[in-house]
Chain A
Amino acid sequence: MVAKARVKTFFGNYLFVLPALGMFLTFSVYPFFKVFQLSVYQWDGVMPTMKFVAFSHFKDILFRNPIWWKSVWHGVYITLLALTFQNCLAFTLALLVDRGIKGRKIYRVIFYLPPILSGIVVGLIWNWIYNGDYGLLNYALKSLGLASIQRAWLAEPKTALTSVAIAHMWQGFGWGFIILLAGLQNIPRELYEAARVDGANTWQALRRITIPLMVPVFVLVSILTILGCMQIYALIVATTGGGPGYHTEVPVTRVISSMLGQSQFGYACAMGIVFGLLLLTVSMIQIRISRRIKQE
């Protein structure tokens, strides 16, 4: 009797996930399998024949493709910068706006503007800012008397990647801002009231109340930041095209270059899989860490 009721409960519960699962099985699983299948073949995307090569693509990617790992490192570099600077900025702004600072309604809208902009506009603007001969940044440096620092920001090996990272962070902080703000707004005001009555100052309230309650949101934002940064593509194409040399190549540019530029569809699929597994591992670790923090 109890078992029957349990089955009935489970069945009802499954219904909740059924629509999502149904769509997922139809539209996600097939491309998934196709990509997995193609990764063990050598194919140029057009010919009706393919050559089975088992895991040789994977072997090559993992052990004999230093450019791939360099591109992964570049992605990681951008991600690290974003996790620190971009998210700190987003959090600070969210805190300020949450606290009810004057003009918060206007600020909320303004900070969301960069993410709305299409890649074209962002690319054009930052190209103009960073331009070596007549860009805005060099112009500003010259007027501040720092003309010696002037350079072609996007074209020099040392500065290219960081310059692109800054442009990416500028566009990205709006997302973090919205999610963190939503998370902050979800904290009941009464907790703060109670803390103030107890005599806590702003910093202590932050440490004892805000941060612990925001941990799941922090994890969420970090995972989203990691995903967003590692998958950066349009901005790179619009500003540096992966150059100079290989200094701003990122994983997605390498995959597209293999797929379209070098007509190695199977190899590109294999790259995609390696990339995905990397991201999956990182996210799992993140979730596990957050669970441990929650337990404490």
Chain B
Amino acid sequence: MRKRVVFLFCVSVFLSCIIGFIGCVRKPEKVTGITVWYWMTDRQDAFIELAEIYEKEKGIKINFELYAPSDAYTQKVMAAAQTNTLPDVYGILGEKRVFASFIKAGHVADLTEEMDAENGKWGGVFFSKALDVNRFLPDNQFGVKPGIYGVPIDVTNIQVLYNKALFRRAGLDPDRPPSTWKEFIEAGEMLRAAGIPVLVSGWGEIWLIDCFASNYAFNIMGEEKVIATIRGDVPYTDPDWIRVFTIFKQLSEKGLLAQGVVTMVNKIAEQIFANERAAFSFNGSWCVNVYKGMNPALEYGAMLPPKISEEHPMAIWGGAGSSFMVNAKSENRRDAMEFLKWLTDTKQQVFLAKSTQNLPSNKYSLTEIPPILAQFVDDMDRTTHPSILPVAEFPGVTEALDKGIQSIITGEKTPEQVAKEVQNVKEKEMKSQRLAR
């Protein structure tokens, strides 16, 4: 009896092996049309629909392939780059430095000509900041030929959200949110008195800390000085930078941060705000989609981070949310560019905006977006982004700065200590860069 069981088992295994081998001996079918690798899971249905429409209209098949989450996508793209097997259209996640490497390695097609053709017909439909993220300026530090190398598919920006219902509960006016730092602190204290946690944000993800700090850096010392610091001309121990770091100390000491913000993942921060457990949230325009799913009845508005100084304008991070690049080594370059032109055309962008609640990159496609998203659009002119600046900071320095701010929030270090540490890392990196030349 047992022998029979074992025998049957072996047979079934043998059979499954056969099936397995048949599955792989079969020659992989030649893929026709254009292959697009993307990572935005929430757009799967929309993309598939658009692909069908395109095939019907132009007769070219579009193969959308989804690879998520983003760090897995990054590894896949990197592996494909190393073996020269990149698809026709794909995205490059990460800093401008990585983007530059891909271009210099010959994996990205130069789209400047296409964008400027016919008096800038294509390039002109985009929000300028969205295009700037994909643009390399003359004399850029990466040694890349200046031009536009990517197509923005959507835009986002990051601002402060506030819960109107909680405002009312604390006795604040939901139509006049705080616009200066002083007002913010006062509002915060009233919220605390009402037992409501004040500000929540996913500061466990250090780039969000970077964003907040950078916004206030622009406001306190102005864009010029920030750029000078990145160049190395101004040290991080400058009093203005210490003022930036002190903001976080203030937030922490006055109890204006929700508990555990320092290691909180953004998704959890979104949950907290959606479930009305915090009055303010620092998050990006994608949150509209998230909050709608978790709490359709949420009453909230968007505002700029309350400014500290009147000398320089408040900046916010924004620009292209997701961009697609064309593989320079692909045989279907022309078709791919045509497809991307179609994808960023007004009609398609309106469709995408409606179905995924993301801001379109085409500035003429704002007709059907919900009012809360419109509040984000209004501030697109104030946006900046590390990728738009002419110089990029060393990633090691950014990490030291962001983690240092985390230490300030927990009370472990003082702003002066962190400033000194960041400056040390900066000097070390600059030295090794000089030696490498």
Whether the complex brings A and B within 8 Å at their CB atoms is answered yes
By a beta-carbon cutoff of 8 Å, the part of chain A in contact with chain B is 42, 44-48, 51, 127, 130-134, 151-157, 160, 238-241, 243-246, 248, 256-257, 260-263
By DSSP majority rule, is chain A's interface helix, strand, loop, or mixed? loop
- What separation, in Å, do the CA atoms of A243 and B206 have in the docked complex? 9
Known contacts A261-B395, A263-B98; A240 and B263 CB within 8 A of each other: yes
A260/B197 in contact, CB under 8 A: no
A244/B262 in contact, CB under 8 A: yes
**Would you give the shortest CB distance from B92 to chain A, in whole angstroms?**
9
Q: Which residues of B contact A248 (CB under 8 A)?
A: 263
Rank and list the top 9 A-B pairs by shortest CB-CB distance, nearest first: A132-B259, A152-B260, A132-B260, A46-B101, A155-B260, A240-B263, A245-B407, A152-B259, A262-B395
Contacting residue for B104 out of A47, A260, A262, CB 8 A: A47
Please encode chain B, from 75 to 90, with 1 for each CB lying within 8 Å of some chain A CB and 0 for all others: 1001001100000000
Q: Which of chain B's residues 33-51 have a Cβ closer than 8 Å to chain A?
A: none
CB<8 Å pairs between A and B, sample of 18: A45-B82, A46-B101, A131-B260, A132-B258, A133-B272, A154-B260, A155-B264, A157-B410, A241-B204, A243-B204, A243-B403, A243-B406, A244-B406, A244-B407, A245-B403, A245-B406, A261-B395, A263-B395
A47/B395 in contact, CB under 8 A: no
Q: Which residues of A contact B412 (CB under 8 A)?
A: 157, 244-245
B105/A160 in contact, CB under 8 A: no
Does B404 lie at the interface of the complex (its beta carbon under 8 Å from any beta carbon of A)? yes
Number of CB contacts from chain A to chain B under 8 A: 106
B409/A244 in contact, CB under 8 A: yes
Does B71 lie at the interface of the complex (its beta carbon under 8 Å from any beta carbon of A)? yes
Q: Which residues of A contact B399 (CB under 8 A)?
A: 257, 261-262
**Would you give the shortest CB distance from B403 to chain A, in whole angstroms?**
5
Tell me the nearest residue of chain B to A123, going by C-beta: B265
Q: Which residues of B contact A48 (CB under 8 A)?
A: 105-106
Tell me the nearest residue of chain B to A256, going by C-beta: B71
Q: Which residues of B contact A241 (CB under 8 A)?
A: 204-206, 263, 265
Tell me the nearest residue of chain B to A246, going by C-beta: B403
**Would you give the shortest CB distance from B409 to chain A, in whole angstroms?**
7
A46/B263 in contact, CB under 8 A: no
Known: A47-B105, A131-B259, A261-B395. 14 other contacts (CB 8 A): A42-B436, A151-B259, A152-B260, A154-B260, A155-B259, A155-B264, A157-B410, A240-B204, A244-B406, A244-B409, A244-B410, A246-B403, A260-B74, A261-B399
**Would you give the shortest CB distance from A194 to chain B, in whole angstroms?**
31
- What separation, in Å, do the CA atoms of A42 and B94 have in the docked complex? 19
A133/B197 in contact, CB under 8 A: yes
Tell me the nearest residue of chain B to A138, going by C-beta: B259
- What separation, in Å, do the CA atoms of A254 and B107 have in the docked complex? 28
B98/A46 in contact, CB under 8 A: yes
Does B18 lie at the interface of the complex (its beta carbon under 8 Å from any beta carbon of A)? no
Between B98, B263, B277, the greatest number of chain A beta carbons within 10 A of the residue's beta carbon is seen for B263
Q: Which of chain B's residues 344-403 have a Cβ closer than 8 Å to chain A?
A: 395-396, 399, 403
Please encode chain B, from 235 to 264, with 1 for each CB lying within 8 Å of some chain A CB and 0 for all others: 000000000000000000000001111111
Q: Which residues of B contact A245 (CB under 8 A)?
A: 403-404, 406-407, 410, 412-413
- What separation, in Å, do the CA atoms of A48 and B410 have in the docked complex? 43
Tell me the nearest residue of chain A to B278, going by C-beta: A133
Q: Which residues of A contact B262 (CB under 8 A)?
A: 152, 155, 243-244
Q: Which residues of A contact B259 (CB under 8 A)?
A: 131-133, 151-152, 155
Does B329 lie at the interface of the complex (its beta carbon under 8 Å from any beta carbon of A)? no
**Would you give the shortest CB distance from B63 to chain A, in whole angstroms?**
24
Does B268 lie at the interface of the complex (its beta carbon under 8 Å from any beta carbon of A)? yes
Does B97 lie at the interface of the complex (its beta carbon under 8 Å from any beta carbon of A)? yes
Contacting residue for B260 out of A42, A46, A133, A246, CB 8 A: A133
A243/B263 in contact, CB under 8 A: yes
Please encode chain B, from 144 to 175, with 1 for each CB lying within 8 Å of some chain A CB and 0 for all others: 00000000000000000000000000000000
Q: Which of chain B's residues 99-124 have a Cβ closer than 8 Å to chain A?
A: 101-102, 104-107
**Would you give the shortest CB distance from A42 to chain B, in whole angstroms?**
8
- What separation, in Å, do the CA atoms of A48 and B260 have in the docked complex? 43
A263/B204 in contact, CB under 8 A: no
Q: Which residues of A contact B403 (CB under 8 A)?
A: 243-246
- What separation, in Å, do the CA atoms of A207 and B28 have in the docked complex? 62
Tell me the nearest residue of chain A to B79, going by C-beta: A45
**Would you give the shortest CB distance from B399 to chain A, in whole angstroms?**
7
Q: Which residues of B contact A133 (CB under 8 A)?
A: 197, 258-260, 272, 277
B71/A260 in contact, CB under 8 A: yes
- What separation, in Å, do the CA atoms of A122 and B66 have in the docked complex? 25
**Would you give the shortest CB distance from B119 to chain A, in whole angstroms?**
35
Tell me the nearest residue of chain A to B95, going by C-beta: A263
A46/B78 in contact, CB under 8 A: yes
- What separation, in Å, do the CA atoms of A51 and B436 have in the docked complex? 10
- What separation, in Å, do the CA atoms of A48 and B407 have in the docked complex? 39
A134/B263 in contact, CB under 8 A: no
Contacting residue for A262 out of B204, B258, B261, B396, CB 8 A: B396
Q: Which residues of B contact A262 (CB under 8 A)?
A: 395-396, 399
- What separation, in Å, do the CA atoms of A241 and B264 have in the docked complex? 8
- What separation, in Å, do the CA atoms of A127 and B260 have in the docked complex? 10
Q: Which residues of A contact B413 (CB under 8 A)?
A: 245
Tell me the nearest residue of chain A to B408, going by C-beta: A245
A46/B105 in contact, CB under 8 A: yes
- What separation, in Å, do the CA atoms of A87 and B407 have in the docked complex? 33
A263/B410 in contact, CB under 8 A: no
- What separation, in Å, do the CA atoms of A229 and B395 have in the docked complex? 28
- What separation, in Å, do the CA atoms of A238 and B265 have in the docked complex? 8
Q: Which residues of B contact A243 (CB under 8 A)?
A: 204, 206, 262-263, 403, 406
Q: Which residues of B contact A127 (CB under 8 A)?
A: 265, 268
Q: Which residues of A contact B95 (CB under 8 A)?
A: 263
B263/A155 in contact, CB under 8 A: yes
**Would you give the shortest CB distance from B257 to chain A, in whole angstroms?**
10
- What separation, in Å, do the CA atoms of A278 and B413 have in the docked complex? 31
Q: Which residues of A contact B98 (CB under 8 A)?
A: 44, 46, 263
Known contacts A241-B206, A260-B94, A263-B395; A160 and B277 CB within 8 A of each other: no
A156/B206 in contact, CB under 8 A: no
